[in-house]
Chains A and B, each alone.
Chain A
Amino acid sequence: MAMVINEEQQMLKESAQGFLAEYAPLAEVRRQRDAGSEKGYADNLWTQMVDMGWAAILVPEAYGGLAFGHVGMGQIVEQSGRTLSASPLFATAILGVTAINHCASEGQKTELLGAIAAGQITTALAVDENIHHAPTQISTTATASGQGYLLNGNKRFVVDGSTADRLIVAARTAGDAGDSEGVSLFIVDPAIAGVEVQRTEMVDCRNYATISFNNVVVPESALLGEEGSGFAALSATLDVGNAFLAAELLGIAQETFDTTLRYLKERKQFGVLIGSFQALQHRAAHWWSEIELCKSVVLKALQALDKGDTKSPLLVSIAKAKLCEVSELATNEAIQMHGGIGMTDEYDIGFFIKRARPAAMLFGGYSYHGDRFALLSGY
């Protein structure tokens, strides 16, 4: 597959650029934060995105979707990194769709994917239980009981956990923390008895939650796929999630770069533009070169997912690791090159660093993906 995007993907990129700039710009993120919004985005934003077909991009055609692929969706997500637009796109149209599509029964797919594509439900994926991503360490339990299961445990940093209509919960039906066998996925209505959702306020002002399950009774029909073999679907979902987090971080790295480059051409000190100083030129050139590398790793990972390449996990870990590194470089350099003004809340740069770090940490940062890449490479 040639490493270029096709015309349709280019069109989607441009339409996303236009849409997000108009309806979900950074100014809106700021407005939501200042208003103390719990969701972090405008009420009708998701409806508009659904109308554009974005909820259906990863949904197969058989379930009412567009099957437009990961490279296509990546164009939107990259743009959303430039505007920092929050929306249910990630938790619902990416994580929810992928998890359900990977393991649910035909009946569940028809119902749930159809509902997502039509904008009727949003989802949240409940995986992590501790401060570091470790999907094999799941200790939340699902014990067979009567006609269904009893869920017990705590989930943390659940994206959109306090607003979603359905939770996709990874729980153990067998085995111990550390085993990949014995993990099952359940679809749970957060309104049922025993589910307690508490919003966590984080640096990016997005919507995360700690969710505790206290003897929650779910029916057998809540199980997605086969009991005990949910880890493969979970892994695949996390790979897709990480590829898109990398795409978002690429948008962040590019936007902070473009903004800083403009500043270097405006700001004068010692009677000259600061962009004329070689100390800054070389750092800007290095930063730009790193972004070029990032464009390649993100595109490669998204293409691998579209092809169903068996090397997808490896390529996703390369992409996520590299973007963790470069988004850190980008946001740090952006503040430093802006000088004092970069430290002010009034200026937008701060929003980027405050989104970049949680996006990098979510589902594993550099150390997690570097380690995974090496293990997958045999060392």
Chain B
Amino acid sequence: MSDLQTFRQETRLWLEENCPPSMRFPVTDSDDACWGGRNWTFKSEEQKQWLESMAARGWTAPDWPAEYGGGGLNKAESKILKEEMARINARSPLDSFGIWMIGPALLKFGSEALKQQHLPPIIRGEIRWCQGYSEPGAGSDLAGLQARGEDRGDHFIANGQKVWTSYADKCDWMFCLLRTDVEAKKQMGISLVLFDMTTPGVTPKPIKLISGSSPFCETFLDNVRVEKDQVVGEINQGWTIAKYLLTHEREMIGGFGLTDAGSETLGQLAANSLGVADGRIANSILRGDILKWEIDGAAFAMTAERVTDEVKSGHGVGATSAMLKYAGTELNKRRYELMMKIDGSDAMIWDGANSNGGWTPRTWLRTKGNSIEGGTSEVQLNIIAKNILGLG
């Protein structure tokens, strides 16, 4: 038996033994997921147990180096782990901006001390991170950010306001962009810094969205002390890392266009809700819109697959993350517009059993942000036009 076959067999056995029954269902919404952190209350004993046993093997971050507590798996092994988890519908033990975003940036750009300090608690789900990028005056034009980091020798004093800091009120640490050189050209005077949210002067305030939920905050920084040893990479060179992280974020959000495996297609939902006549959804106009979406959704999923395969085989650049982000989020918005039409007036019920506790309208409203966060669709089109098509 090859090493990979052995690995698969062992992984399968271990998952069978260690994945609790209630963790073998897809997560229904972000409240159902495990986010970890100092303030976290586990939804169940099994959720806690699942996180702890996966973290002990480093499998919350399977491909991170073992020396920081990661799984140390190579690409093939990571893929096997993913497949074996999918086989039993095992959910992710930990949803984490630490694992998705700042961790990879630390691995690529961070000092050894920063890696030692921050990676292990991320992997164990002990520290929950938020992102301090946008500001009231710096959205699409992120490099125009104004939050200052004033040099005080061994530390900076930070002042300003961040916005769209996801879950800042529940998070433990922030990775944050500050202007540390006001004289330099806009992209050149920015640093990426890390600080504890309990540092005096940090005040997060939830923002209520049109969907009724508050996944984001505005965060005020009022004379916040940031140690210089908490700068990722070089001082004033944070823009490069910020761009790297934005690419990462685009890839993550672009995945929204993919329907979860196993979930019902729009066509099936519509057939159930509107009825079928002669094998066709009874509303022919809606059916036309739905099948068009399903064709586009299939094309998007195939493209995500093709791009992955192209990267793996070392072929060309393929479609970039900007294209996937643009296409994926626009698709997701269309998908929820169609779900609203399929559910008819029930879809407008804000609370109550008929709209699944308002899930449909709330999720629909939330998708409007998909093509704004992580760079608007218009910004993605700018990136494609300039970087790929060479249009000046």
Contacts and interface: CB of A to CB of B under 8 A. Distances in A.
Contacts of B319: 289, 292
Interface stretch (B82-90, B93-101, B194-202, B308-316): B308-316
B305 interface: yes
A374 B287 contact: yes
Contact of B385 (A284, A299, A377): A284
B295 A273 contact: no
B310 A370 contact: no
A296 B305 contact: yes
Nearest to B385: A281
A370 B381 contact: no
Given A285-B384, A374-B287, A377-B267, A265 B296 contact: no
A321 B295 contact: yes
Given A288-B384, A288-B388, A3 B291 contact: no
Give chain A's interface secondary structure class.
Answer: helix
A379 B327 contact: no
Contact of B270 (A278, A285, A286, A379): A379
Nearest to B279: A375
A55 B310 CA distance: 30
Best-surrounded residue of B288, B294, B295, B381 (most CB of chain A within 10 A): B295
B197 to A, nearest CB: 38
A275 B392 contact: yes
Contacts, number: 125
Interface residues of A, number: 37
B49 interface: no
A377 B306 contact: no
Contact of B295 (A285, A289, A373): A373
Given A322-B296, A374-B280, A295 B306 contact: yes
B378 interface: yes
A326 to B, nearest CB: 9
A374 B294 contact: yes
Given A322-B296, A373-B291, A377-B267, A3 B385 contact: no
B102 to A, nearest CB: 29
A292 B303 contact: yes
A369 to B, nearest CB: 8
A364 B201 CA distance: 66
A4 B313 contact: yes
Contacts of B265: 377
The 10 A-B pairs at the shortest CB distance, nearest first, are namely A281-B385, A285-B384, A296-B302, A3-B306, A379-B267, A293-B299, A285-B381, A374-B291, A296-B303, A292-B319
8 contacts: A4-B309, A276-B392, A296-B303, A318-B298, A370-B291, A373-B291, A374-B267, A379-B290
Given A264-B391, A296-B299, 16 more contacts: A273-B392, A276-B391, A281-B382, A281-B391, A282-B378, A288-B388, A289-B323, A294-B299, A297-B299, A299-B306, A322-B295, A370-B288, A374-B294, A377-B265, A378-B267, A379-B291
